[in-house]
Structure 1
Amino acid sequence: MTTLSIFSQNEPTTAHTVTSDAAEIQRLLAEQGIRFEQWPTRAFAANASAEEILEAYADDVARLKAECGFQTADVVSLTPDHPDKLAFRQKFLDEHTHAEDEVRFFVRGQGLFYLHLGESVYAVLCQQNDLISVPDGTRHWFDMGPEPEFTCIRLFSNPEGWVAQFTGEAIASELPGYETLTGAV
């Protein structure tokens, strides 16, 4: 279930707000300039190719491209049997920013975005059908968990794709991680 947990950076072990209400999540994130949407499920085979997934969501992707100026869209998938899953997880666990919006639509599975906004950290557990757009310059990190299982559509303004500037801050290690917030082992 999609969940938003809000922590104070000064008391990072206990969330002061937790909600699974999609409308409330959208409202609280919008107040911080974060786009959050839930798109309807589209039909395609379980083993669909990236092209088939992009075709299934072509209208939604085209709308965002026109609205926000994105140039490219691709599909990324990770499964628990991927040999580099630990390296991929580690790559995204440190706080960083981007020079463009980071947009992810979860076609299947889930992942946990942490958004460091002022004195608070918003932990958004995104699941199938959730779209999140983290504005450029927003300090954040992503935790896919120890057994990642997701497929996402990514949209980019920069044709080079994912380029991060790491902040060097340790806050990501101070908050409850994926296993704690999702109950995963």
Structure 2
Amino acid sequence: MAEIRIRNTNERIKGNDNVKAFLEKQGVLFEHWDTDKLPEELREKFVLSDEEKNQILATYDAEIRDLAERRGYRTWDIITLSEATPNLDELLKKFESVHTHTEDEVRAITAGNGIFIIKGSDDVGYFDVELEAGDVISVPENNPHFFTLMDNRQVVAVRLFIETEGWIAHPFQDPAFQK
């Protein structure tokens, strides 16, 4: 179950309904997919073959296609990050700077967890969205944010895109942001 931490106040928001309501006010889509659908052997596996990635995509095909139809996404894939990922620290440095995109950044977590740090409205400021398996989030285009891993440093997620080349990050300098 996702949890939010507002950075300015350290306030925490818990419970799917509360998280969804808060994110909706910030223009961020939040949904939850049934993790029981995923075969048990894939629920905590972070190094995946192409066949296993395709199995995850097939398991959530109806959910992916529904989201794609509603939001205009045209392509999707699986990303896996763990200690087994070559150059993980270098890759995370690329992710861990505030940026924007010209399309939504979508993640449906199927295993592990991660954190989106998102710039909210002026009265909220930056907030963290801690995600776990089943959580689906779509950060709107041009909204400053970044994604990183939690302490266990492992995640598997479905990514959805409008552009078939995937998204390109545009650096966003913000003196108000503090790590």
Q: TM-score, normalised by structure 1?
A: 0.84
Aligned to 2:171: 166
Spell out, residue by residue over 1:66-118, the C-alpha distance to the aligned partner (whole angstroms, 9 max, x if none): 11110101001011232311011111111100000111000000011011123
Aligned to 2:79: 76
For the pair 1:136 / 2:130, whether they are aligned, the reply is no
Q: Which moved more, 1:45-54 or 1:100-109?
A: 45-54
How many residues end up aligned between the 2 structures? 168
Paired residue for 2:97, among 94, 98, 109? 94
Q: Which moved more, 1:137-146 or 1:92-101?
A: 137-146
CA distance in 2, matches of 1:135, 1:161: 15
TM-superposed CA distance for 1:143, in Å, is 1.6
Q: Which structure 2 residues correspond to residues 3-152 of structure 1 after superposition, within 5 A?
A: 3-8=3-8, 14-15=9-10, 17-41=11-35, 42-44=37-39, 45-46=41-42, 49-119=52-122, 120-145=125-150, 147-152=152-157
Amino acid at match of 1:7: R
Q: Which moved more, 1:43-52 or 1:59-68?
A: 43-52
TM-superposed CA distance for 1:129, in Å, is 0.3
For 1:49, what is the secondary structure of its paired residue?
helix
TM-superposed CA distance for 1:4, in Å, is 0.4
Higher strand share: 1
For 2:7, what is the secondary structure of its paired residue?
strand
CA distance in 2, matches of 1:76, 1:116: 24
Q: Is the 8 A contact 1:109 1:151 kept in 2?
A: yes
For structure 1, the 5+ residue unaligned runs are 9-13, 176-185
Aligned to 2:45: none
CA distance in 2, matches of 1:136, 1:113: 14
CA distance in 1, matches of 2:109, 2:148: 14
Amino acid at match of 1:59: A
CA distance in 2, matches of 1:141, 1:170: 15
- The CA RMSD over aligned residues, in Å, is 1.7
Amino acid at match of 2:65: A
For structure 2, the 5+ residue unaligned runs are 43-47
Q: Is the 8 A contact 1:79 1:148 kept in 2?
A: yes
TM-superposed CA distance for 1:142, in Å, is 1.2
For 2:157, what is the secondary structure of its paired residue?
strand
Amino acid at match of 2:111: R
CA distance in 1, matches of 2:175, 2:95: 13
For 1:152, what is the secondary structure of its paired residue?
strand
Amino acid at match of 2:31: E
